[in-house]
Structure 1
């Protein structure tokens, strides 16, 4: 059974560009072996990640993330059974924040500042879908 899980967390320490590259590389390597796909967004010390895959694999990955000391304030925004993957092309796509239109964020949020702690899971999921269709996702 396939599920998707969307969460947000705050970085426990300041993240450098190299830290983020290392996290993405590690995610892509581990996700491929676990059959996980999804998207990662990092902005102002906040991570938002959508994971898709088998229920056991997604749950296990979320439990590891929630207990990882590099994360704090971990919140679950959305969890649902799905019929098919929406982000199957990426073992872990990355949102290119340089291509993020503040008007698009404002469509789903009270302000144009991307803050998953003030947005519903449904709104964040809709925003991720639009980011894919607008070409604001990088993968490698």
Structure 2
């Protein structure tokens, strides 16, 4: 059985290019063997990440993330059983929301900033769907 989990967290330290590369590198090397796909969005001190895969693998990884010192205020935004993956092409895609047109963020929230704590999980899912549709997700091998 496949599931999709969307969560948000706040960065415990300043989000730097090196920190993002470290998270992505670890994800991209580890996720294929676990059968996990997804994307990582980040802006200011907020992370929003989708994980897709088996219930066991995704839940285990999510539990590890909640204990990861790089994250605080880890919160599930949306959790669902799925028939197919939306992010199958990415072992871990990335979206730097600082490079996204603010009007796209404003479409789904009160202000043109990433704040998944202030919107519904479904609004966050809709934002991610639009990021896919507009080819805003980046992935390097």
User: TM-score, normalized by length of structure 1?
Assistant: 0.96
SS of equivalent residue, structure 2 residue 27: helix
Query: Which consecutive aligned stretches of 4+ in structure 1 deviate over 3 angstroms post-superposition?
Result: none
Q: Which runs of 5+ in 2 are unaligned?
A: none
Match of 1:68 in 2: 68
SS of equivalent residue, structure 2 residue 13: coil
Alignment of 1:44-123 (within 5 A): 44-123=44-123
Q: Deviations over 1:80-119 (max 9, x none)?
A: 0001000100000001335412111111111111111111
Q: Distance in 1 between matches of 2:97 and 2:73?
A: 22
Q: Deviations over 1:27-57 (max 9, x none)?
A: 1111111000001011111110000000000
Q: How many residues align?
A: 140
Q: Distance in 1 between matches of 2:97 and 2:107?
A: 16
Contact in 2 for aligned 1:97/1:136 (Cα 8 Å):
no
Contact in 1 for aligned 2:43/2:96 (Cα 8 Å):
no
Match of 2:12 in 1: 12
Q: Distance in 1 between matches of 2:85 and 2:15?
A: 29
User: TM-score, normalized by length of structure 2?
Assistant: 0.95
SS of equivalent residue, structure 1 residue 20: helix
Q: Distance in 1 between matches of 2:53 and 2:85?
A: 8
Q: CA RMSD in A?
A: 1.0
Q: Which runs of 5+ in 1 are unaligned?
A: none
Contact in 1 for aligned 2:42/2:96 (Cα 8 Å):
no
Contact in 2 for aligned 1:99/1:136 (Cα 8 Å):
no
SS of equivalent residue, structure 2 residue 7: strand
